[in-house]
Structure 1
Amino acid sequence: MQHQPSAPAAQDLPAAALSTGAVARHLGVSPTTLRSWERRYGIGPDLREDGRHRRWTPADVARLELMCRLTARGVPPAEAARAARATATADSRAASGAADRRAGAAPGGPRSLPLGDVRPECRGLARAAVRLDAPAVEDLLDATLGELGPVTAWEEVIMPTLHAVGRKWASAGERYVEVEHLLSWHVSSALRRIRPAPEAARSPVPPVLLACAPGEQHSLPIEALAAALGERGLPVRMFGAALPADALHDAVRRTGPRAVVLWAQSRATADRALARSVAGIEWGLRGARGHSAVLIAGPGWGGGAPERTERLFGLRSGVEVIAGLAAGASPATGAGPAGPAACGS
């Protein structure tokens, strides 16, 4: 264990000094892991507030980032910690770049994901996923969803990470399939752990029915939609992936939903005739028949919406459209695009 310098006064700490929790989210590790690294390998923060609170400076974080890159390449943690400490200089960025060049790798390491300009939580989640660190992925997802809510977490953290994994997989053959599968499974699990607002169970409003088109297996975007609607207190019936056409028709007649959201990731599964037939279903007692608003979502639908349906664009705007329908607004059938991606696709 390295000797820790005297604790500076709280007002003397650099403005950029971060808490252990914030650094853990940035790196994609658990706070317990950071404390273990400090205890075992002496790679702790140089500063502490009054008392025992750890505060991590940019130089501290640079050392940890280097250690994470080295361990992701298979370097034992003790050796990675020694290398990270050895490269610490006043210019932490230069030190980290030099270590990468000595390792014969591009900055970020050969296994890093092409994320671009994203939130720190996104980088932390990506690092944990590439390491196949399932406990860290789970903790980071729960913390991000709890702090940001399902809509912002999906748009600014989860979706960019999923897209980066997909791009890496496309450029590296089959090597990153395991990363995508692990991340997708944990995203789905984390979304389902979000408890709907209590009013969702008591709501007199007809439910919203969510389903993937027949043959469509990619259900994460409508799982995010289900979580976001539940948070708003709107009742949802989720049918998940690849719901057969006959089952979809029966579900609409039995539940009398205010709206039906039909997701299609690919053009091969976007069944426009099915969407039109669902829009034509009437349900309820004779003399008091009703019908559901049909909302299509996902990149598979391509151009304009089928007759008597409306296209959703983006998770955030999709939630607002559905909330408006629940409040009694009429769907703007045939409305044009409101954003670049359909329901967070």
Structure 2
Amino acid sequence: MRQSTGIERDTELVLAARNGDPWAREQLVTAHLPLVHTTVAVAMNGRHGAEHVEHVVRETMLRALDGLPALTDPRVFRPWLVAIAVDGIRRHRHQQPAGYAHADGTPGGRWPGHGPAQEITEAARWLDPDDGELLALWWLECAGELTRHETAAALRWPAEEAPARFEAVRARLDAGRVVAAALAGNPACPFLGREAADWDGRPSAPWRDHLAHHTLGCGHCAPRWHALVPAEVLLSAASPVRAAGADEAARGRAAASAAAPTAHGFAPDAYAAADAAPYRAPEYAAPSATAPLGGSAHEHAADLTESFVLAGQAGHGRPHPPRSAPASAA
């Protein structure tokens, strides 16, 4: 969980940015870009190319900067920003057909797939399309980046509903972990090969359920269920935000020479070099006709989840500790 000094710094920056301070706006973007990028990249499950991830990230920052004047409590800026990202992910999912960007099913977006995170990101490709944002926020919670009330607020849930919903995602994620490991196993299970004979190589929820059903009753594959490390252990072992932050810093250094100054005096990392209109919320009215996200930045209510966050302030605490035993087979 973030320390109170981080909340205080965000509050100061939001207040300054609302008063037109370009340096404060730059700092808000720089400090929170890894969080937004992580949320979007994980939630989209690699189902679209990197350009789709970048578009949703850019739209999120535009909407947030544009909505700052209406954010009545700057202390909730971080979960409010995540809520805007979740809203953008859902809008994109409804407007774009789901399907992997590459014919071989490899992820199209950038993923925080290093060390323990690699197993999660591989398994996440087998989740249901609308599980993405749940996994992203659960990961952020396990890594200490968000509290339970903040994740619930971003998803617009009552906090007491979160455990059951995350448990359902865990079951599907564990099934994906077992299926991914079984398919990559050496030696391979010959019976699994027969079950997957008609599979096109693209991870999907129906094939996850079909292949997971085989693994439950197969003497060769079933032991993989008992060998699973609890998902929370893997999720808490590495912060995807810190990994993304290091990646953004490297991208920013590489793009610094190509980034031109903007009207507001800042060009956030590689996004500025890739787009002629980076994060300039005051000038932004609506995306182009071809943009995946339709509508104006003003369509997003500034108090999207603020009331939920404020209602849970007294209950904020550290994320739940990892479970000590592997999850049961779904």
In terms of fraction of residues, the more strand-rich structure is 1
Give the alignment's TM-score, normalised by structure 2: 0.23
CA radius of gyration, larger in:
1
In terms of fraction of residues, the more helix-rich structure is 2
Give the alignment's TM-score, normalised by structure 1: 0.22
